[in-house]
Amino acid sequence: MRFRGDIQTFEDEGFLRRVAQSSAVTFVIGLGATLVFGIVLAMFAPGLFDGLLSGIFAADGRGFIDYLLWIAWVAVATAVSFIAHELVHGIFFKAFAPAGARVTFGANWKRGMLYASAEGVIYTRAQYLVIALAPTFVVTAALIAAGFACGCPVAGAFAATLHLSGCAGDWEYAREIAADPLITHCEDTASGVRFFGAGDAGDEGDRDEPAAPGAAARGEVRP
């Protein structure tokens, strides 16, 4: 296959900068949406509004204790969502991989990132896009549903915002793939992903190392 570029997730400063910017924008937009959502619920469907937040102001509420419990709900839901995020990646990594392929999980504490990896497995363009984006939809929807089920829809929306802020790296993977229509296959690695173009997915002959780790090089690389 012809090498078309790569992303070294933990080393590419340009990639990390774009992820941080996207994460910050997502948080601001999500926070605003959560506030609007909470106001709409309070005005038009007060029965659905978070009981713990209502307890802050209610005469029979527990005031600050209810607020702390609400914060704890958000914190636990967010922590669980990050773990679920990687599990969803892992499920799709496994579903699209050949029999016997191994999926691993880990963390880069320096960068504050959890990750799932199917090192060395080559996926089609469409498969890798599904793997990258699945947690954005699956986990976010689960958080919203859990918020309503537990009587804390605003907390669920806020946890969903925090989770989406952590999806920016996946979106950057997808953006890189979408930006190059000639990418046909993606090889997962422990440190990121490598992109390949035209050629047989099993052809090892043209799979050369990129000239500079983390560079989004383009064009054909020959042995």
Measure Cα distances from 97 to 92, 100, 155, 173 in Å.
8, 8, 36, 19
Structure tokens at 156: 């669920």
**Distance in angstroms (rounded) separating the CA atoms of residues 45 and 40:** 7
Strands 185-189 and 3-8: unpaired
The secondary structure element, H or E, covering residue 122 is strand 122-124
Determine if residue 112 is left, alpha or beta; phi over 0 gives left, psi from -120 to 50 gives alpha, anything else beta: left
How far from the centroid of its chain's Cα atoms is residue 164's Cα? 7
Per-residue pLDDT tens, the chain, 223 aa: give them. Answer: 799 999 999 999 999 999 999 999 999 999 999 999 999 999 999 999 988 887 666 556 566 788 899 999 999 999 999 999 999 999 999 999 999 999 999 999 999 999 999 999 999 999 999 999 999 999 999 999 999 999 999 999 999 999 999 999 999 999 999 999 999 999 999 889 999 997 544 444 454 443 333 333 323 322 2
pLDDT at residue 61 in the model: 58
Angle (CA) 100 213 202, round 5°? 35
**Distance in angstroms (rounded) separating the CA atoms of residues 8 and 38:** 39
**Distance in angstroms (rounded) separating the CA atoms of residues 2 and 101:** 23
